[in-house]
Amino acid sequence: MSTKKLTGKVALVTGGSRGLGAAIAKRLAQDGAAVALTYTSSPQKADEVVLAIEAAGGRALAIRADSANVEAVKNAIAETVKTFGRLDILVNNAGVGAFTAIDQISLDDFDRLVAVNVKGVFVATQEAVRHMGEGGRIIMIGSVNSDLMPFAGGSVYALTKGAIASFTRGLARDLGPRGITVNNIQPGPVDTDMNPAEGPFAERMKSMIALQRYGQSEEVAGMVSYLASAEAAFITGANLKIDGGFTA
């Protein structure tokens, strides 16, 4: 009999084709969960994640679903439940950034950021909790930028991540009586396509991080794994930083 901590659980990770989401999907599968992951523009990358999980003996499913498209998000949840029979863990990871000064950012950019980073999270969460029972887990990937924005141009991104921090607190109250926990992981700089450790901002960023380096996606995935587990049953409504001391 398997002793993996998430055996029998089913997880959906939004934006699981690359970066943090890919590492989270792989980690939850390694812990024994069957994992569905969404993507928008990288079918090949999404398939690679599925193949890696299957090669390690796990079960996975890639679903094309733009988080800004309400019907696509609803369908992704329905397909996950149809394929794996239930839904226990939702990781709201899909997100986009736009770093443009307030007098330059367009209304279209604003709408896109809010649609993916906020409305998509709302729709996925509302739909997912219809299928979740006692022990359910909602895990947001927010950002330290909801509390600290140390450079210009990130106001709208910070706005969206601040919304997620507040949404987490409210949801914890709604879902606590059902035994479902809701937590927001707030990473500092993590080396991904969105924020490469060798990118134009990297040296400035590293100088502000106590540990003087970027985080790795697998480090954030470890925190997701813990929050998804039974051991974390008394943690809810929490905004938890993993930032190498960026905000210390």
Piece in contact with ligand NDP (CB under 6 A), picked from 34-42, 83-91, 129-137, 147-155: 34-42
Least separation in angstroms between CB 60 and ligand NDP: 14
Q: How far is CA 199 from CA 101, 113, 152, 191, 203, in A?
A: 19, 22, 17, 9, 8
Q: How far is CA 237 from CA 168, 181, 185, 210, in A?
A: 6, 7, 11, 26
CB 12 within 8 A of CB 85: no
CB 235 within 8 A of CB 183: yes
Least separation in angstroms between CB 100 and ligand NDP: 15
Catalytic one of 39, 157, 214, 226:
157
DSSP letters for 89-149: EEEE---------TTT--HHHHHHHHIIIIIHHHHHHHHHHTT--TT-EEEEE--GGGT--
Least separation in angstroms between CB 234 and ligand NDP: 25
Is there a catalytic annotation at residue 157? yes
By beta-carbon proximity to ligand NDP, the closer residue of 5 and 216 is 216
68 binds ligand NDP (CB under 6 A): yes
**Binding string, 210-239, against ligand NDP, x = CB under 6 A?**
------------------------------
Q: Please give the backbone phi and psi of residue 39, each rounded to the nearest 5 degrees, phi first.
A: -155, 170
Determine the Cα–Cα distance for residues 244 and 248; give it in Å rounded to an integer: 8
Paired strand residues for 187? 242
**Binding string, 88-117, against ligand NDP, x = CB under 6 A?**
-----xxxxx------------------x-
By beta-carbon proximity to ligand NDP, the closer residue of 216 and 229 is 216
**Binding string, 7-26, against ligand NDP, x = CB under 6 A?**
-------xxxxxxxx-----
Separation of CA 124 from chain center = 12
**Binding string, 160-199, against ligand NDP, x = CB under 6 A?**
---------------------------x-xx-xxxx----
Q: Which one of residues 9, 11, 33, 40 is an interface residue with ligand NDP (CB under 6 A)?
A: 40
Q: Which one of residues 61, 87, 90, 141 is an interface residue with ligand NDP (CB under 6 A)?
A: 141
CB 98 within 8 A of CB 157: yes
Determine the Cα–Cα distance for residues 152 and 218; give it in Å rounded to an integer: 29
Number of residues interacting with ligand NDP: please give it, by CB under 6 A: 32
By beta-carbon proximity to ligand NDP, the closer residue of 21 and 58 is 21
Active site positions, annotated? 157
Footprint on this chain of ligand NDP (rule: CB under 6 A): 14-21, 38-42, 45, 66-68, 93-97, 116, 141, 143, 187, 189-190, 192-195
